Structure 1
């Protein structure tokens, strides 16, 4: 049975290649092709002999090469590209490439599906099927990086904000981020990495202890206990007041300001009173607020508020000197919300 090479350290790669009959120095060459040049097929590694390539192909596999793009959508402005990737076991996740004026970022999933049950999100419609491995998280970055490398560009930022709760797959997520930070891979700065959580306090505490300057984003979406529990059942186990306290400890240890994500849902959490409550909880905190007009999710029946309502909410926060912005929308025309593309594809397969 062939062994998977993608995601291994250089030492692990050396051990496997030597055992297969290759010279030790070949591992460094393969490693460079995979993680610096983003080549995803052995026969494209031009400084390897045909005999060595034959040994590699007979004994090993490369995960990015095995990924199947089930569906791909590109926004009309060509700034956002979203793919539904199928892994060899048949499970699929969504991954998004976004082009900004400062570079390219990839939003990756950390789980197949999600168990958080947030009322506004399509990711959890079928629950969490399984955690992704560190290699599967990395592959989502490299599938896009392989497209960019021919243009002399590469992914410079990663956001773990796709399907799944990253803190419930902590080791794999951190393993993938640490891998991308290595000098002999993409050498991506930790400051260009963001982990988004629903507020799993033990995960926030573990991240705090690591002391890495990774950006922390917390999905808040309501500052009233009963409403947040309605929207986000995780609030029962981890009340948002305790989450904010854990986030402040993270700020104190890493010096990184925390971003609070707040999806504005028409008639639910978008009133001036709701804005006042949010401001009260975040006043004097090392925090910024990212307001996100809801992407319509037909399965959930939620609608986005009007532009006027959004602006009124923002003004309340600014009046209280809360650093707040309205998220620049990208990919609105291509099933932009997490889980929408996967849910749509699954429904089509059933019909």
Structure 2
């Protein structure tokens, strides 16, 4: 509509301004022909009314020939790249394919408008430098829009290449990680086999230890029984030695008493008879002992060399009254024997 108004305004200029000037303008006017100014105004009004109706119907986008254009929703990203702030109420669509299609539609409509302006019978205003500059501004704007789309496409291409390189790097890392996982899995299987072997060896060692412990228990029981027999044997020997010592003591006392009687010592009545009777009793007890019934092979077999602790245990079971020389006599008995 602005173009139509400008055209109508320019139509009111005097005829000398509307006349073509120069050789080129004269030749062009001869080719196109001269049109009645009344018909020219009617044609301009008809074109303006048709354009207004199409704009109101929404069949073509809004535009201005004067170098400025209305930013449509699909042109918001391009307008932002060119430094134009779109209205806040318009949504911004980032689909590059849709934007490219809409750009082609805009350029096609612009081309149709230019063809329509050229198809008029006589329009001397289209040769004016100001209108040419306005058209150049529109073309420059379109070129900037196309350049912005090309820059966006190149940026998307670079982003795609970068993503492909990252995917390749990740594939390489994934292959390395897969190889490492396979290596770790092989080591795990090997460690499982080693662990099973160690378990078998541990069970075998435990079984051997149990066998040794059971054999040690049997040997300990055998040694204990032998120690008990030795103790019984020592007790019996101690009793025999004690009886023999008493017998010797009584025998010596009886002899001493007989010598005293021969030397005419006065003795208590019955003392000599009592000593003789006790001597006979001890002698009978000594004769009743059967020391050979305890076999030395049973009491003292030839076992393997015993431990030091076992020797200390055997020494602790020997009666305290046995001296280091093997005597079973008490100190009083030894004193009596010395007197005899």
Q: Per the shorter chain, which TM-score range?
A: under 0.3
Larger radius of gyration: 2
Give the alignment's TM-score, normalised by structure 1: 0.19
- Write 1 or 2 for the structure with the bigger share of strand: 1
- Write 1 or 2 for the structure with the bigger share of helix: 2
